[in-house]
Amino acid sequence: MTVESSPVQEQRGARIRAVLLRQDVLLLVVFIAMIAFFSILNPRFFSAAAAANILQDFSPVMLMAIGQAFVILSGGIDLSVGAVLGLSGVTTAMIIRDQSANGSDPGVAIALGLIAGVVVGALVGLVNGLLITYGRLAPFIATLATMGAAAGITLVVTGGVQIAGAPRELILLGNTTYLGLFTIPVMVVIVIAALAWLYVSRSKFGRWTYAIGSNSFAARGAGINVRRHLLKIYVISGVLAALAGAFVYFRLGSGSPLSGRGGELNAIAAVVVGGIALTGGIGRLSGVILGSLIITAVLSGLIIIGVEPNWQQVVIGALIAVAVGIQGIGSFKGRTL
């Protein structure tokens, strides 16, 4: 878009408009409006306790959304994250249960459990990456297959039964709030989100991801090892989903084989609401952070103002439709970093 020699004021006006129509600014406005709306209808919504609850719901969704953002930016999609959350969660739960039963120190048990869960997530991510790069399967198909396999393995391994046996320390770790708002897992997630935001926008890794998402042929031509990069991306997605699984387990004190079901849809919704195009190569992580916040906060808000459970799903669906519609108005296309 070339700008003819126009008065300074017109330029400034256009710049302000451009800022206001940015997806993440729009989302911030929506988020604030939503908080105001719920708080007016029920002042209890505007409290530390409500915020703490929302942050705990937000954590696993944010982690999976970050992984999903990387994947979708690169032009792919990862449907297996919900199942990975479940599988890694129960893996962590089982290791911690067995270690505690053998009398290990709780810190050691928790560390081992986390490592085991993350390894499982990384492995599934690796399988996804290999199927897509060397197996030449479409990401949708490959991750659909691993989703089924992971969900099945979770049920086989647990026998459908929840895994109990968590030590006291673990439940404290998952639930003690600092400043009335943040648990340790929530703080970890916030740090990871910040790091991801910087990484996506300012690193070579981030730029390569956008490049591959925009045009993978050109990217390869420019010398990027597309295969290796995609492998890393899917492994990251798996690792983040595994971490989400561990944190859900910490919050509940019990590993449920059905946790995470449908999680991939929440992650994709957060990414789409956040302004990342499903075709790849376009979007910001800041939008994804706000998208995740909005999706989790709206559910809590609807409960607090007493909306019937069945209507909650309708509202969320409408929200996603509106958010994507706004994306069109904001003419987001073309902006990358």
Partner 1 sequence: MKSATRLLAVTAALAASALVLGGCAAAEPTGPDGSKKYTIAFIPGIASDPFFKAMEVGAREAADDLGIELIWQGSASDYSPQTQIPFVDAALAQQVDALILVPTDPDSLQASVTKAEAAGIPVITVDTTVTEQDYLTSHITGDNVDGGRQAAITLAEQIGGKGKVFIQSGSPSATTNTLREEGFRDELEANYPDIEIVGREYSNSQPANATSAINTILLNEPDLAGIFAIDGTSGTGAIAALKNSGKVGDVKLIGYDAYAAQVEALQEGVFSALIVQQPGEEAKLALEYALAQLTGEGKDDIEKTVVIKNIVMTKDNFDETGQYEYVE
Q: Which residues bind partner 1 (CB under 8 A)?
A: 42, 44, 47, 49-50, 53, 56-57, 60, 151-152, 155, 158-162, 164, 171, 175, 248, 251-254, 256-259, 261, 299-300, 303-304, 306, 309-310
Compute the least distance from the CB of residue 306 to partner 1, in Å.
Answer: 7
Measured between alpha carbons, how far is 332 from 312 in angstroms, rounded to an integer? 29
What HEC string does 105-161 produce? CHHHHHHHHHHHHHHHHHHHHHHHHHHHHCCCCCHHHHHHHHHHHHHHHHHHHHCCC
Compute the least distance from the CB of residue 233 to partner 1, in Å.
Answer: 27
179: burial class by Cβ within 10 Å (0-12, 13-18, 19+)?
A: exposed
Nearer Cβ to partner 1, position 47 or 279? 47
Nearer Cβ to partner 1, position 139 or 245? 245
Measured between alpha carbons, how far is 154 from 156 in angstroms, rounded to an integer? 6
Nearer Cβ to partner 1, position 134 or 311? 311
Measured between alpha carbons, how far is 83 from 1 in angstroms, rounded to an integer? 45
Nearer Cβ to partner 1, position 93 or 282? 93
CB–CB of 146/161 below 8 Å?
no
Measured between alpha carbons, how far is 192 from 206 in angstroms, rounded to an integer? 15
Compute the least distance from the CB of residue 300 to partner 1, in Å.
Answer: 6
Compute the least distance from the CB of residue 189 to partner 1, in Å.
Answer: 15
Residue 160, phi then psi, degrees to nearest 5: 80, 0
Compute the least distance from the CB of residue 53 to partner 1, in Å.
Answer: 4
Compute the least distance from the CB of residue 15 to partner 1, in Å.
Answer: 41
Measured between alpha carbons, how far is 65 from 148 in angstroms, rounded to an integer? 20
Nearer Cβ to partner 1, position 125 or 257? 257
Compute the least distance from the CB of residue 296 to partner 1, in Å.
Answer: 9
Contacts of 274 (CB under 8 A, 6+ apart): 23, 24, 27, 65, 69, 283, 284, 285, 286, 287, 288, 289, 290, 291, 292
CB–CB of 264/80 below 8 Å?
yes
Nearer Cβ to partner 1, position 137 or 157? 157
Nearer Cβ to partner 1, position 29 or 36? 36
